[in-house]
Amino acid sequence: MTKRMLIMLVAAGMVFGGIFGFQAFKSQMIRKSMSARGVPPQTVSTITASEQAWQPQLEAVGSLQAALGADIAPEVSGIVSRINFKSGEDVKAGTLLLKLNADTDIAKLQSLKATAELARKTYLRDRQQFKDRAISQATLDADIANLKNTEAQVAGQQALVDKKFIRAPFAGRLGIRAVDLGQYLNAGVKIVTLQALDPVFVDFYLPQKSISRITAGQGVSVKTDAFPGKTFAGKISAINPKVDPGTRNVEIRATVRNPQHLLLPGMFVTTDIRIGRPQRHITLPQTAITYNPYGNIVYLIEKNGKGPAGKSALVAKQKFVTTGETRGDQVAILDGVKAGDVVVTSGQIKLRNGTPVVINNAIEPANDAAPKPGDE
């Protein structure tokens, strides 16, 4: 290494040393200045942690299905000659809903009945003659076969005529009429929907880890935003024996009584399943929890003796917690907070360990186990 390079290195070191030294001095002066005048306290809202009764439950989103439901359609084509129902009315099983023009089919039925009646009389007459040995066994056998054939034709034609009279297959509520008088209907064209509304089924999914916690006959409660604050009781009626390999969820079906026909097929509902016995947990508003990849934290309020004139001041202390299940606006705290602790519920974004705080609970975050819409 030459003398010139050595001089350059020494000069560079002096320059960088001066810069770093100045920055360190500047930082030290800033810290002293802040310490001298103090960090301004941050305003937060708080809640005193307490134990509450906590009923463990599973919550799932489901969809309503009718216990019996079908789109009524004719098996044969024809012209609508009579409509015997009104949109939205309740009907009993077997009620005539609609009639297709069947004049030609009825006339043919009458002709076949006449032929069958003649075949029956011929058979009865020949049977008597056979007893008197006036005809052969072959003739009598032919009469029997002819009678059965004509009777089968009558039955087939009668079935065709019956298909022109569309009846309700079960009791339920009709939907909106989709056909008009005089309209030509092809086979399979929807006439109206029919839904049996009491009871109704609730189909929902639960993760496979929950299978051991549910059984057939277990009680459920169903809620829908169509009727805020109203709960419908039901029971689990079936558990699918197969887990969906794509989602690892299992399908559950519950049966819910619906005597007032408030619940309708296709509705979106929330299903709650009570599991186990009630427990007691520290509960906090969900806004009190700061969720992080490295752990969930809360801020506790503590006193120290560093306030003005030696008075104790309130400061925030960061604490890791273990959270449990949620219900409404609340979350269960399994570890990290004990009863009586004062916990920050809003304003955490401004806090660090040791930040002085001022408590203002004029406006508190929601903390309801069963929140309801604000316009209710």
Q: Are residues 270 and 286 in the same domain?
A: no
Q: What is the pLDDT of residue 36?
A: 40
Q: Are residues 50 and 63 in the same domain?
A: no
Q: How far apart are CA 80 and CA 64, in angstroms?
A: 33
Q: Are residues 300 and 351 in the same domain?
A: yes
Tell me the pTM: 0.60
Q: Are residues 267 and 290 in the same domain?
A: no
- Asked, for residue 297, whether it belongs to a domain, the answer is yes
Q: Are residues 244 and 200 in the same domain?
A: yes
Q: Are residues 354 and 294 in the same domain?
A: yes
Specify burial of residue 339 (Cβ count, 10 A radius: 0-12, 13-18, 19+).
exposed
Q: Are residues 254 and 204 in the same domain?
A: yes
- Asked, for residue 375, whether it belongs to a domain, the answer is no
Burial 158-174 (b: 16+ CB within 10 A, else e): eebbebbebebeebbbb
Compute how many other C-beta atoms are within 10 angstroms of the C-beta atom of residue 62: 22
- Residue in the structure block whose two tokens are 């007459």: 125
- Asked, for residue 262, whether it belongs to a domain, the answer is yes
Tens place of pLDDT per residue across the chain (376 aa): 555 666 666 556 565 555 545 555 544 543 444 444 456 888 888 888 888 877 677 888 899 999 888 899 998 999 998 998 899 888 999 999 999 998 888 899 999 999 889 889 988 888 888 887 877 888 888 888 988 998 999 999 899 888 999 999 999 899 999 888 989 989 889 999 999 988 899 999 998 888 888 888 888 889 888 888 888 989 999 999 989 898 889 999 999 998 888 889 989 998 888 876 777 888 888 888 888 888 888 899 888 755 554 455 788 888 898 888 787 778 888 888 888 888 998 888 888 888 888 888 887 777 666 665 555 4
- Asked, for residue 20, whether it belongs to a domain, the answer is no
- Asked, for residue 23, whether it belongs to a domain, the answer is no
Q: Are residues 220 and 263 in the same domain?
A: yes
According to DSSP, the residues that pair with 83 across neighbouring strands are 98
Domain span at 239: 58-67+196-274
CATH number at residue 138: 1.10.287
- Phi and psi, residue 187, nearest 5°: -60, 135
Q: Are residues 207 and 268 in the same domain?
A: yes
Q: Are residues 125 and 62 in the same domain?
A: no
- Residue in the structure block whose two tokens are 């609609």: 98
**Secondary structure, 3-state, the chain:** CCHHHHHHHHHHHHHHHHHHHHHHHHHHHHHHHHHHHCCCCEEEEEEECEEEEECCEEEEEEEEEEEEEEEECCCCCEEEEEECCCCCCEECCCCEEEEECCHHHHHHHHHHHHHHHHHHHHHHHHHHHHHCCCCCHHHHHHHHHHHHHHHHHHHHHHHHHHCCEEECCCCEEECCCCCCCCCEECCCCCCEEEEEEEEEEEEEEEEHHHHHHCCCCCEEEEECCCCCCCCEEEEEEEEEEEECCCCCEEEEEEEECCCCCCCCCCCEEEEEEECCCCEEEEEEEHHHCECCCCCEEEEEEEEECCCHHHCCEEEEEEEEEEEEEEECCEEEEEECCCCCCEEEEECHHHCCCCCEEEECCCCCCCCCCCCCCCCC
Sign of CA dihedral 343, 346, 348, 351: negative
Q: How far apart are CA 90 and CA 353, in angstroms?
A: 67
Q: What is the pLDDT of residue 369?
A: 60
- Asked, for residue 185, whether it belongs to a domain, the answer is no
Identify residue 146 by its one-letter amino acid code: N
CATH number at residue 48: 2.40.420.20
Residue after which a domain boundary falls, among 240, 255, 274: 274
Residue after which a domain boundary falls, among 248, 274, 300: 274
- Asked, for residue 372, whether it belongs to a domain, the answer is no
| Half-sphere exposure in the Cβ direction for 331 (13 Å, CA) | 19
Q: Are residues 206 and 352 in the same domain?
A: no
Q: Are residues 266 and 302 in the same domain?
A: no
- Asked, for residue 349, whether it belongs to a domain, the answer is yes
Q: What is the pLDDT of residue 376?
A: 47
Pairing of strands 78-83, 96-100: antiparallel
Q: Report the domain count for the chain.
A: 3
CATH number at residue 269: 2.40.30.170
